[in-house]
Structure 1
Amino acid sequence: MALIQNWLPPSRENWELICWIWQFFPLVTTAQWLIDWYPQGKTSNDSRLNLPGKWAWATMEAPGFLTLLYIMFALPKEQGIVELPWGNWTMAGLFTIHYIYRALLAPLVLNPSMSPIHPLVWLLAVCFQLMNSISIGGWLAGYGPTTVYDWAGRLYIMEIGLVVWGWGLLANIYHDDDLREIRRAADRKQRREAEKSGKPPEKVDKVYMMPKNGLFQYVLYAHYFCEWIEWAGFWMVGGWNCTPARSFLLNEIATMLPRALQGRRWYVEKFGKDKVGNRKAVIPGLL
């Protein structure tokens, strides 16, 4: 049963339209190169409209994998496809694993705190997730490969892509946890001081320090870089002609690169140029 006729799941015509439009998303991100206003995370500001960080993050990221899974089960029925090949489900699994971690485990279980998020950021993120998941989901659920023969002869490159994806995910989690430890350490300190003074502990959602482990020795946004590696591996699994996977990677870079450059300026302003040193924003030795 379609949730929205011809859109969820999408008809081929609408899916092709979404994929075509989605390739131009980097044009939308040009605003990030012109202004530093980005009310989320380190650069969040006080606003009566702000949403609680943890639940805002979860609800703006989760629609992606939920939509993709819905399309994976609904579209084949409309197309008369009895069974999707294992390669399709492998890619759907990679996407889902990432976002179960990113959308649910990270904000709701692992992160000790998160800065508030402005509703505009929340809305744009939801739109990103829906466009991306419809693009990838349509390709995986009927408009891309539909038989095992479509994956024939690609096992070797798929294995390499899976390894790249796996190491990218693990490195992403490692560097995320290094950032979490900053908050956890601050929270432990606040609780010890609160026990001594008898006062309630202060919040740590706006506590920031210079990360220093792993690739953070060379860049300030190592977790971004690792996520790009992860989705480059995803694209390899789908094949160089998998336009939705390619668009996903390029759109992530277009969104996150100006954010990282802006974040480096924030680090220099807060901690000083000497302390930041030669560390780049996101790509070791380059940017």
Structure 2
Amino acid sequence: MELAERLLLDALAYLECALSFLFFALLTLLGSPYGRYASQRAAWSLTAPTAWAVQELPSLAVPLLVCVATAAERLRRWPNRILLAMFIVHYTQRSLIFPFLIRGGKPTPLYACVLAFAFCTYNGYLQSRYLSQYAVYGDDWVTDPRFLTGFVLWLVGMLINIHSDYILRNLRKPGETGYKIPRGGLFEYVSAANYFGEVVEWCGYGLASWSVQGGAFALFTFCVLLSRARQHHQWYLEKFEDYPKSRKILIPFLF
């Protein structure tokens, strides 16, 4: 039974890699169906705070359920505990804090929320079940350069993501409407600094975990957020004549 589930978790990780390229292609061709790009003709939609809380919650609830409802033998090891804590900390912020900081926000089509909910359930199970039951690390893994570098990248990426979201929330003064060019922080270099932070964060997690499961999530994050960042970048260029042409799409000084 354990071997069968371990093979299943590997298969789910490789499937997530395949989905990364599929979603990149679809989002590049069709665009992201939320926020300013959402169709106003959608029959069913949720407010932005509600959609964010609902769709992100499985990434927090599923790992907690896995830890409580199973033996979670591997969580007796510090490397496994820290890696799972990294995952849970991010989604505590994304599902319980971030949604309540949103100011306004366009409605999210119900189908987009359902798709995100499904992925968060899938990935939440994949990451938490692997780390709690099957990931084998020596106690000295927490001093390995791969783990230390990955942890630092995760922390820096999360701070960039939170700071960039703060900049976006405060673009408008009370009573103002319309869109503005983001200024400050890494927005001086890229159009999607918040996405850049999240990519760095999960690449760090993937490096620290040194696993197919962690790497698959990092790849999925990069592919999906790159497609969204390209859409944002093009929108800014078309919307604002004075938009800084030196800004890259997602990665400072690269693209």
**TM-score normalized with structure 2 length:** 0.89
Aligned with 1:238 (options 191, 198, 209): 209
String of CA shifts for 1:96-139, please: whole Å, max 9, x gaps: 1111111220112x222221111221122112212211221121
CA deviation after TM superposition for structure 1 residue 83, in Å: 5.6
1:282 corresponds to 2:243? no
Partner of 1:138, secondary structure, is: helix
Q: Which residue of 1 aligns with 2:26?
A: 31
Name the CA distance, whole Å, in 2 between partners of 1:98 and 1:40: 21
Partner of 2:182, secondary structure, is: coil
Aligned with 2:143 (options 124, 140, 155): 155
Q: Which residue of 2 aligns with 1:21?
A: 15
Q: Which residue of 1 aligns with 2:89?
A: 97
Partner of 1:87, secondary structure, is: helix
CA deviation after TM superposition for structure 1 residue 169, in Å: 1.1
CA deviation after TM superposition for structure 1 residue 35, in Å: 2.2
Which residues in structure 2 correspond to 1:174-185 (within 5 Å)? Answer: 174-183=163-172, 185=173
CA deviation after TM superposition for structure 1 residue 56, in Å: 0.8
CA deviation after TM superposition for structure 1 residue 13, in Å: 4.7
1:264 corresponds to 2:233? yes
Name the CA distance, whole Å, in 2 between partners of 1:280 and 1:102: 26
Supply the AA of the counterpart residue of 1:233. Answer: G
Moved more, 169-178 or 123-132: 123-132
Q: Which residue of 2 aligns with 1:226?
A: 197
Name the CA distance, whole Å, in 2 between partners of 1:159 and 1:117: 38
Given the superposition, is the C-alpha separation of residues 124 and 28 from structure 1 closer, same or farther in structure 2, using an over 3 Å criterion?
Answer: farther
Aligned with 1:171 (options 160, 173, 177): 160
State the number of aligned residues: 250
CA deviation after TM superposition for structure 1 residue 160, in Å: 2.8
- The answer (yes or no) to whether the contact 1:60–1:125 under 8 Å persists in 2 is yes
RCO greater where, 1 or 2, for CA within 8 Å and sep 6 or more?
Answer: 2
- The answer (yes or no) to whether the contact 1:61–1:103 under 8 Å persists in 2 is yes
CA deviation after TM superposition for structure 1 residue 140, in Å: 0.6
Supply the AA of the counterpart residue of 1:103. Answer: S
CA deviation after TM superposition for structure 1 residue 238, in Å: 1.4
Q: Which residue of 1 aligns with 2:117?
A: 126
Given the superposition, is the C-alpha separation of residues 182 and 83 from structure 1 closer, same or farther in structure 2, using an over 3 Å criterion?
Answer: closer
Partner of 2:175, secondary structure, is: helix
Aligned with 1:76 (options 68, 71, 76): 71
Q: Which residue of 2 aligns with 1:216?
A: 187
Q: Which residue of 2 aligns with 1:86?
A: 78
1:115 corresponds to 2:83? no
Pairwise CA RMSD of aligned residues? 2.1
CA deviation after TM superposition for structure 1 residue 154, in Å: 4.9
- The answer (yes or no) to whether the contact 1:41–1:117 under 8 Å persists in 2 is yes
**TM-score normalized with structure 1 length:** 0.80
Percent of paired sites with the same residue: 28
Name the CA distance, whole Å, in 2 between partners of 1:129 and 1:52: 19
Name the CA distance, whole Å, in 1 between partners of 2:196 and 2:132: 29
Structure 2 unpaired stretches of 5+: none
String of CA shifts for 1:34-71, please: whole Å, max 9, x gaps: 223x2212212313322111101110011112112222
- The answer (yes or no) to whether the contact 2:48–2:102 under 8 Å persists in 1 is no
| Larger-Rg structure | 1
